[in-house]
Structure 1
Amino acid sequence: MESIFHEKQEGSLCAQHCLNNLLQGEYFTPVDLSSIAHQLDEEERMRMAEGGMGSEEYRTFLQVWEGSGGFSLFLLFSTL
């Protein structure tokens, strides 16, 4: 290995930097991770709605889901 890739921490993009440093290259951008997160959120929302959109679990899910803004560990490991 000629050199070690290191993406310096910028803002709150820990997941992006972690993945890129682990994979030793510029593989993910915030846009990439946002797109993956959106897809996973939509899939989860559909699964949660299967139990009924009026259920307590679904309403709780929507309250927790709205506006968190960060990339979760679930997203981080889903990309690998």
Structure 2
Amino acid sequence: MPKTVILHLSGEDPVLADMDQEPEPGDLFIRVTNMRKKDGKPVPYLAAGVQAVIYPWHRITFLEIMPSEEERSSVVDFFRM
């Protein structure tokens, strides 16, 4: 089951994407599918019909891996009282 990630690219706005598996320490690139802006709109610099994009690590500032629905029940969110 793919995990949703927030991909922070150098010099670009963050985008949402799906990853089949988390990257390993020795990986030179990551492969993401279903790229979209955070508001769900298409990413303007991708051609229509693109299925997957491969990014080398030097283009990525950082990567946020979001919990899946079954993991969300065990994640404790912060709240104020």
TM-score for both structures, normalised by structure 2: 0.20
Task: Give 1 or 2: higher helix fraction.
Answer: 1
Larger radius of gyration between Structure 1 and Structure 2: 1
Task: Give 1 or 2: higher strand fraction.
Answer: 2
TM-score for both structures, normalised by structure 1: 0.20
Higher RCO, Cα 8 Å, sep 6+: 2
